[in-house]
Amino acid sequence: DSGVTQTPKHLITATGQRVTLRCSPRSGDLSVYWYQQSLDQGLQFLIQYYNGEERAKGNILERFSAQQFPDLHSELNLSSLELGDSALYFCASSLGTAPYEQYFGPGTRLTVT
């Protein structure tokens, strides 16, 4: 158990809908990272927050947004969902800004039908 929690574990929704994925980092960790893992693209870095502020941006679509709250949990919002957004979404946390070791959550499997 990494100490990082993600909810929900599974999510099935229709195209055009909006969903929110939640991540709670390990106790004491200030950074949260979001990643997408799809069958055709592999793992991709989406975005990083550090202590409530956006720190780094990767391949995150404009339809996606994230935030980190004062209690350090983070939410990833996905809107106008498309079939291609079906993937595993992982969050990870680390003590500070990279390159610290990251601890991964169990992931949320999103299926868009």
Partner 1 sequence: KNEVEQSPQNLTAQEGEFITINCSYSVGISALHWLQQHPGGGIVSLFMLSSGKKKHGRLIATINIQEKHSSLHITASHPRDSAVYICAVYNNNDMRFGAGTRLTVKP
Chain residues binding partner 1 by CB under 8 A are 2, 33, 42-45, 48, 55-56, 58, 88, 90, 92, 98-104, 106-107, 109
CA angle 26, 66, 32 (to 5 degrees): 25
- 12 or 98: CB nearest partner 1: 98
> What one-character DSSP code corresponds to residue 25?
P
Q: How far is the CB of 9 from partner 1 (least distance, A)?
A: 10
Q: What is the closest distance, in whole angstroms, from the C-beta atom of residue 105 to partner 1 in the complex?
A: 9
Rounded to whole angstroms, how far apart are CA atoms 24 and 73? 4
